[in-house]
A = this chain, B = another copy of it.
Amino acid sequence: MKERPIGIFDSGVGGLTVAHAIKQILPGESIIYFGDTAHLPYGDKSAESIKLYSRKITEFLLEHNVKVVLVACNSASASAFDILKKEFSQTILIDVINPVVDYLATKHYERIGVIGTKRTISSGTYENKIKNRTGETTVVSLATPLLVPMIEEGFIFDDISNAIIRTYLSDPSLKGIQALILGCTHYPIIKNQISKIFNFNIDIVDSARIVAEALRENLEKNDLLNMGDKLKDQFFISDYTPYFEKIARMFFEGEINLKKADIWS
């Protein structure tokens, strides 16, 4: 049981930032990753479609005998996590939003910003969960949909990405925030650029490490930490192009071998 791998899924390869954090914090664990590149990006899709995709991918991971399923995608966490918990009630499920809400509850900030895809922001999930938890906190949300393609196309640490990031983050609603949640697994790549816009003065909340810590606690609590041999990590995507391989290395910060798993036809 303990040797079974950790299942992780995302709409594409952005969730590999979370996989990377898990490999650092839990080096004894093996992982099975699924990136739904046939439907990527989820950020523009309807909640209905994302539920459908998430359900099917969870089944795929369970068929691969995972001991836990981690939804490493904010759009899917916002739109599909509740239905997954209901439908897979025997499975340990972890999303990328609740651990961040738990973390923020310890901080007592008065004003928090959250940026993410259209799907994540329009769901209001961060806003609602943080407000339910800490009644006093004001949460302002901003959709920043160009950041994902910008990062994927390699526009980072240059004038163009600085201009795009500055344009988004100059939104008056973000004035006076003490923390900014990076509500998308792509955004850790530009964490420093974002931090600079705020003169390195606010808490930039990067979920990858927080989620990996939550996973570690969960495995400990359930006595599921792997003490034995490690299985081989496996990385699946639903549509294959060499481009995915290239950006996967950027997010995972290491060599990676992507295999196509055609679960949609």
Contacts and interface: CB of A to CB of B under 8 A. Distances in A.
Interface residues of A, number: 30
Given A38-B39, A167-B160, A265-B52, A44 B243 contact: yes
A164 to B, nearest CB: 6
Interface in A125-160: 145-146, 148-150, 152-153, 155, 159-160
Contacts of A264: 264
A163 interface: yes
Contacts of A160: 160, 163-164, 167
A239 interface: yes
Interface of A: 37-40, 44-46, 49, 52, 118, 145-146, 148-150, 152-153, 155, 159-160, 163-164, 167, 239-241, 243-244, 264-265
B146 A150 contact: yes
Given A39-B38, A164-B160, A241 B150 contact: no
A240 B46 contact: yes
Nearest to A38: B49
Contact of A241 (B46, B146, B240): B46
Nearest to A153: B146
A195 to B, nearest CB: 21
Contacts of A159: 163
A241 B45 contact: yes
